[in-house]
Amino acid sequence: MKDCPFCNIPERDIIHENGLALCFLDRYPVTEGHSLIIPKRHVSGHFQATPNEVSAIMELAELRKRSLLEEFSDITGFNIGTNCGRSAGQTVFHLHWHLIPRRDGDIEDPRGGVRGVIPVKRIYP
């Protein structure tokens, strides 16, 4: 798609790719190494992707995780996720998975992880 920023990723920015997906650094990283993994085919969200595309994305997520662990000795965890739809926070309507490296102490209390999309629900008993 002509207007989609993810349909025109420059070759020089691609970190990993396979037949159906590619991986590159997020332009607005949450942490150092924050990467995006997308299908090469333009689909708006996770539920429009084929099982083969989802598998290709997962393959690259694992490959990128391994390369990040080799590059950064201080990574102690990861958040991985995708936003599906405007109400879920999606702003670029080309499926993309975030792979966000985490480090001990990067926030005061990381409990709840992805539950933080609704801050008052992040911490639970």
Cα–Cα dist 4/26, whole Å = 15
**Known active-site residue 96:** yes
Of 16, 46, 96, 98, which one is the catalytic site residue?
Answer: 96
Token pair recorded at residue 70: 């080799």
C-alpha separations of 68 from 8, 15, 42, 47 in Å:
24, 11, 26, 27
Residues with catalytic annotation? 96
